[in-house]
Amino acid sequence: MKKTQAYKIIKQMIMRNRFTQKQLIDINQLAKELNMSRTPIQKALTQLEQEGYVTITPQVGVFIKLPTLDELHERLAVVVAIDVYMAQCAAKFITKEQLKKISNILDLMENVESEMEYEQLDHQFHRIIYQSSNNNYAFNLNKSNWDYLRYVRFTNEIFKDKFREQSQLEHRLIVQALQERDVILVRDLMERHLRRAEGLVIDEYRLSKTANLIVEK
């Protein structure tokens, strides 16, 4: 469907910072660029509004939307709850092959130098655990949430210095609990791991919002 195609392309444009926050997103220009009519473009933008990427104001236009601090709190709360649930399920269903994969990823994480490489491996680590939960609905729901959080570019601090060392230690403990199939311990370790990251995200986002207000003044 053209609407699905338009949605994927426009979402990628937004993720890659094609539009600034105050820039009007021109539907006619997008239709021309994507060689489509206005209808699939409008439907795609409506879906993106529902997901929090844009705001559509009648008679005004379409603009990029960044979350308020409360909205970020709400989304992170949902993300953590679903991720912890999937980790619990993973403790029951994870296979030896999947355990081997995440152990190999941990080894790679200890030897990479760039934050970008570490972040990519971190995503792979969590993705394998959540896939092993055998709950496709929860996995796909949170995949959409994580796409959004990566778009916001909430923080890089979790992948730096002492935070990175702490993260890697927590990963090791989670893997050990998964190997032992200890559902309660996996749940507690994953929740502690994610709550720490959540705190860093909120703190840095609050600081960035404050800095932007100062610049605008």
Domains of the chain: 2-64 (1.10.10.10), 69-216 (1.20.120.530)
Predicted pLDDT of residue 63: 94
Render pLDDT for 51-108 as a digit per residue (tens, 0 to 9).
999 999 988 999 999 888 898 889 899 999 999 999 999 999 999 999 999 999 999 9
Predicted pLDDT of residue 217: 44
pTM value is 0.81
Amino acid identity for residue 53 in this structure: Y
Copy the structure tokens of residue 152: 């916001």
Q: Name which residue leads in pLDDT, 116 or 140.
A: 140
Residues with Cβ < 8 Å from 101, sequence gap 6 or more? 128
How far is the C-alpha of 115 from the C-alpha of 164, rounded, in Å?
A: 9
Provide the angle, in degrees to the nearest 10, between the axes of the packed helices 2-15 and 136-152.
Answer: 40
Render pLDDT for 21-52 as a digit per residue (tens, 0 to 9).
889 999 999 999 999 999 999 999 999 999 99
Query: What does each C-alpha distance from 134 to 14, 59, 61, 93, 140 come to in angstroms?
Result: 31, 45, 41, 7, 11
